[in-house]
Amino acid sequence: MTLRHETAAHVVSALRSLVSAEARAEAPAAAMEARDLEQAVWVRLLERLGGDGLPPDAARWVKSAVRAEARRARRTAARELPYGHDPSDPAGSPERAALRSERRRVIRAAVARTPGNCPRLLTAMLSPDDPTYREIAGELGISQGSLGPMRSRCLGCLRRMLTAEVAAPELGGKER
């Protein structure tokens, strides 16, 4: 065994509990596993032992190294994107696109079951052309002033229908 190897082994055994405790304390804020943070600090320490040698105040160095590695991990996580994520794709993943499509289908089916002029009004409001109130009122043959109260009644009816169909789970995961 060389002197450098013995020094490194001595430093590792002397600082193991401190590195572990500091990593456990900083890991949750860095959104990473404590073991990963600990490993990054050991790599930094071994790099330092290979170059500058042992820091004069090893305990202070360990604390600052753990914090520096945690900051680096937070910065990296803020810039990372999930695998397969294409920011130019507005639909996102195929699963998200399927869920959006299903949600639109359920809403359109509920709109069709609403009473009176509600299906025509809500269909016009859901139009991708984004018509104005004036255009919707002209299409339905009603005054623009009565469009707001009618819209409110139709949305209330739609809300009650959808709430009855898809009951929101209670706290604790219990169904109503």
Alpha-carbon torsion angle 60, 65, 66, 68, nearest 10: 130
Domain shared by 106 and 74, yes or no: no
Spell out where the chain has E strands.
none
Q: Rank 8-17, 83-92, 112-121 by mean pLDDT and report only the highest.
A: 112-121
Single out the residue in 78, 106, 129 at which a domain terminates. Answer: 78
pTM score, whole prediction: 0.43
Instruction: Name the domain count of the chain.
Output: 2
pLDDT at 83: 63
20-77 pLDDT, tens digit per residue, is 999 999 888 878 888 998 999 888 888 877 777 777 788 888 889 999 998 888 888 7
The answer to whether 73 touches 54, Cβ cutoff 8 Å, is no
CB 47, CB 94: distance < 8 Å: no
Q: Do residues 158 and 118 make contact, with C-beta atoms less than 8 angstroms apart?
A: yes
Residue 124 within any structural domain of the chain: yes
| pLDDT the model gives residue 90 | 58
Q: Does the pLDDT of residue 4 top 60, yes or no?
A: no
Look up the domain containing 50 and give its range.
Answer: 3-78
Residue 83 within any structural domain of the chain: no
Give Dmax (Cα) for the chain: 94
Residue owning tokens 């360990």? 62
CB-based contact 118:157 (threshold 8 Å): yes
pLDDT, tens digit, 9 for 90 and up, residues 90-129 = 556 778 788 888 888 888 888 999 998 899 999 988 888 8
